[in-house]
Structure 1
Amino acid sequence: MGIKTAYTGYKAYDYLTPGEDYKYFELTPKDRIPEYLVPLTPEQEERSLKLAREKIVISMHEHPIYNPVDLEEYRPYRHAGRQSFAYEALAESYLDCIFDNMMNGSCVITSHNGWKWTDIVHDLGMRLCDIAHQDFVIHCKRVDDIHRAHKEGKLAWVACIEGAMPIENEVDRIDIMYGLGIRLLGLTYSESNAVGSGLKEVRDAGLTIFGREVVKRMNKVGMLIDVSHSSPLTAIDAAELSEVPICMSHAGAKALWNSKRLATDESIKAIAAGGGVIGIEAAPHTTITNNHRVHDIDAIMEHFEYVANMVGIDHVCFGPDTNFGDHAGLHRIFAKFLSTGYTKNQEDDYPRVDHVKGMENPREASKNIIRWLVAHGYSDDDIGKVAGGNILRVLGKVWK
């Protein structure tokens, strides 16, 4: 058991009978790979745990579900429309709040290609029904919910949609999403849509006229704008147009590794100039550097320190983008939907890993971020900022 004292043992869909009420899939255990913890001295161990108890810890981008053991069953699992939230594993984490991005790009209930409006509403409704049958996770709709979760030993759950394709050309769907509890929306997911250019495209046209309407409507309803998978110009346009801060919830610095998936200095600076935050990514083979070609926590933290040094510690946080299962394998089988073929580094001489050491899942990542910062001499105030304080500041200006 971790520091989340309110967890009482509920598992996803405990109110139903597997195999009778829904199709059963064998899911990955929470300890698929033995947990790795950044080594600390006894004094550092004590300080790390104290910080985890006292500071509000937030992950700005995760997919906190158990995936099938057999990834050949992943598509049928998603087609069944019932993902399994990782209550038990998250109760063992340091997290007070988690931004859940719902895997809508692989939501193939009615379509082979994902991102359909009907499917994301199905996905969200199924998750909300499950959450309604337990009392550990709070559906987070306002900043006060995060403070409450921290105080009560619970977990605040933020519903997010990673790309705006499901709104099609209907700006009013932003209001509907907000009404259903969505509090963060990505403008694009790699490929272009009616809102703007995605990061995989050959030509970068930035935000469209319709996209400008979307940004303004998101400002009005109080929904956080995410440009993690948007092109550099789309990100900059959105940062400059928005009347409140925006975010890049999961990314890294292109200056450290020449990949379209990572952010240019110009887009990072534009987001910071508007008061926003950049969350550092940890999905396999993303935040590599020339100094750390084997993807591990040290590579990720080189991206963190680069961004912090460039725009200041007040504008960086963490969005590890992890799940419970074979993440590297998931990328391989869903390359089309995740656009990895168009966004990876053009160099092909870096070692492939089957998991990212120190950042395998949301539980491990939440612990090791604090442990690494403690081990490298960061102050309590700075750790509090990047662990969650910077996100809270932004949410206080955006959420209504």
Structure 2
Amino acid sequence: MARAANPGIIIDGLTGIADPDGKEGDFALSPRAVRDYRESGLSAIQVTIGEVGNARTGWDAVQEGVSIHNRIIDASPGTFVTGRTAADIRAAKVAGKIAIVMGTQDTSMVGLDLDRLGIMQGLGVRVVQLTYNLRNLSGDGSLEPANAGLSKLGRATIARIEKEKLLLDLSHGGQRTIAEAIAATTRPMTISHTGCRSLHDNPRNVWDAELKAVANKGGVVGIYWMPFLVANSKPFAADLVRHMRHAVDVCGEDHVGIGTDGVLPKTVIDAERRRKQAAENRDRVARGIAAPGEGPDVFTIIPDLDTHRRFGLLVAALEKDRWPAGRIEKVLGGNLLRLYGDVWGGVSG
């Protein structure tokens, strides 16, 4: 039990940095946030830079996002380090710090200018998601009814992503886009944050055939902690474990990870939080990027895991589901660490 309670390296393959006591314009973490991150057990997190959904300011937002996250790292050197290689993550674990891996959730900011992928690599970006929920020049997102698949530019974009030793992320893709992108790859890829569509038929989830195809090419599927796990948009830990178990059954224990798509601090649902959630949902609906299951009163939390100690609670839930310690270690971080090393190699930017 003691070994499983501290399962080596823990990586959240899609999250954001949040500080419950932070103030507008602050880059340094508050004492409470420092404590929460240190107690979380995390060794690495992947964060999103830039905007999503074919945003007009996409390229400027990428550069601004890199700058912001570099300032966050510089302001809290005792907590965060930059994650450009798998070795950076291992070193962060030894030092008791968290490596921040930067990634995008779209390629609309790249478009026809594939040289921007090289620029992003040089800036420290390590993960590039091909599409968001809408169609861009590379392919169809998960909400496009035509399900038109991958474009010629999409194939060229994937080839350039691989040339730059960036990790291709197929989250938010349409079914054909995902399937055709996997077929077009020569290197392992990820679907960093998704659920199993055979358990709940939501367009943000992925069918077994594509999950298996990712595994067959050495990739990793990250299971998210999102409303899309269940029909009523209110998942609990048992629902998360059910999706994780199914993913392992389909992909094998070497090809499943975690991408919560949430933030670490506990979500306090008060009047102000409800107001912000409703406003954000209105914006997403207006932009056409809100998926089925989202709503003005739907919060992206799993209530019985809603604490900064959530990964310890997940370990306990997986142990209750009779997962062996070695499998828990792989899924909580070992598999993503292996994938990062396979794709990035020794690239440092």
- TM-score bracket, shorter-length normalisation: 0.7 to 0.9
Shift of the 245–331 alpha-carbon distance from structure 1 to 2, 3 Å rule, reads farther
Q: Which amino acid aligns with 2:341?
A: G
Partner of 1:334: 280
State the secondary structure of the residue aligned to 2:133: coil
What are the superposed Cα offsets for residues 116-145 of structure 1, whole Å, 9 maximum, x if unpaired? Answer: 211221122022023123323110101100
Measure, in 1, the Cα distance between the counterparts of 2:21 and 2:57: 21
Measure, in 1, the Cα distance between the counterparts of 2:298 and 2:57: 29
Q: Which amino acid aligns with 2:250?
A: M
Measure, in 2, the Cα distance between the counterparts of 1:340 and 1:307: 29
TM-score with structure 1 length normalisation?
0.75
Partner of 1:119: 61
TM-superposed deviation, 1:48? 3.9
Q: Which amino acid aligns with 1:99?
A: Q
Partner of 2:304: 358
Measure, in 1, the Cα distance between the counterparts of 2:71 and 2:233: 42
User: For structure 2, which runs of at least 5 residues remain unmatched after alignment?
Assistant: none
Highest CA radius of gyration, 1 or 2?
Answer: 1
Measure, in 2, the Cα distance between the counterparts of 1:265 and 1:115: 35
What are the superposed Cα offsets for residues 75-116 of structure 1, whole Å, 9 maximum, x if unpaired? Answer: xx7xx8x7776544212201111111247339xxxx9x5652
Q: Which amino acid aligns with 1:333?
A: A
Q: Of residues 5, 8, 18 in structure 2, which corresponds to 1:65? A: 18
Q: Of residues 14, 23, 46 in structure 2, which corresponds to 1:99? A: 46
What are the superposed Cα offsets for residues 240-283 of structure 1, whole Å, 9 maximum, x if unpaired? Answer: 11111110101001111111111112221221111111100112
State the secondary structure of the residue aligned to 2:228: coil
Measure, in 1, the Cα distance between the counterparts of 2:288 and 2:21: 21
Q: Which amino acid aligns with 2:198?
A: A
Measure, in 2, the Cα distance between the counterparts of 1:371 and 1:380: 11
Partner of 1:379: 324
Bigger mean CA offset, 375-384 vs 209-218: 375-384
What are the superposed Cα offsets for residues 329-362 of structure 1, whole Å, 9 maximum, x if unpaired? Answer: 555422343778752159x9xx96684213336x
Measure, in 2, the Cα distance between the counterparts of 1:194 and 1:64: 30
Q: Which amino acid aligns with 1:312?
A: G
Query: Is the CA contact 1:260–1:345 (under 8 Å) kept in the aligned structure 2?
Result: no
TM-superposed deviation, 1:365? 3.1
Q: Which amino acid aligns with 2:192?
A: S
Shift of the 222–337 alpha-carbon distance from structure 1 to 2, 3 Å rule, reads farther
Q: Which amino acid aligns with 1:145?
A: D
Partner of 1:254: 197
Partner of 1:131: 73
What are the superposed Cα offsets for residues 9-55 of structure 1, whole Å, 9 maximum, x if unpaired? Answer: xxxxxxxxxxxxxxxxxxxxxxxxxxxxxxxxxxx4x3443x34xx1
User: For structure 1, which runs of at least 5 residues remain unmatched after alignment?
Assistant: 1-43
Measure, in 1, the Cα distance between the counterparts of 2:313 and 2:43: 15
State the secondary structure of the residue aligned to 2:306: coil
> 5 Å matches for 1:76-225?
86-102=33-49, 104-105=51-52, 113=55, 116-136=58-78, 137-225=80-168
Measure, in 2, the Cα distance between the counterparts of 1:318 and 1:184: 15
TM-superposed deviation, 1:395? 1.4
Measure, in 2, the Cα distance between the counterparts of 1:89 and 1:313: 29
Measure, in 2, the Cα distance between the counterparts of 1:340 and 1:326: 27
Shift of the 236–180 alpha-carbon distance from structure 1 to 2, 3 Å rule, reads same
Q: Which amino acid aligns with 2:242?
A: E
Q: Which amino acid aligns with 1:134?
A: S
Q: Which amino acid aligns with 1:62?
A: T
Shift of the 103–355 alpha-carbon distance from structure 1 to 2, 3 Å rule, reads farther
Q: Of residues 336, 341, 344 in structure 1, which corresponds to 2:292? A: 344
State the secondary structure of the residue aligned to 1:169: coil
Q: Which amino acid aligns with 1:126?
A: I
Query: Is the CA contact 1:322–1:359 (under 8 Å) kept in the aligned structure 2?
Result: no
TM-superposed deviation, 1:179? 0.5
Query: Is the CA contact 1:195–1:210 (under 8 Å) kept in the aligned structure 2?
Result: yes
Q: Of residues 196, 211, 214 in structure 2, which corresponds to 1:271? A: 214
Shift of the 331–207 alpha-carbon distance from structure 1 to 2, 3 Å rule, reads farther
Partner of 2:9: 56
Query: Is the CA contact 2:43–2:93 (under 8 Å) kept in the aligned structure 1?
Result: yes
Shift of the 159–293 alpha-carbon distance from structure 1 to 2, 3 Å rule, reads closer
Q: Of residues 167, 187, 200 in structure 2, which corresponds to 1:244? A: 187
Bigger mean CA offset, 351-360 vs 114-123: 351-360
Please state if 1:390 is matched with 2:310: no
TM-superposed deviation, 1:66? 3.4
Identical-pair percentage: 24
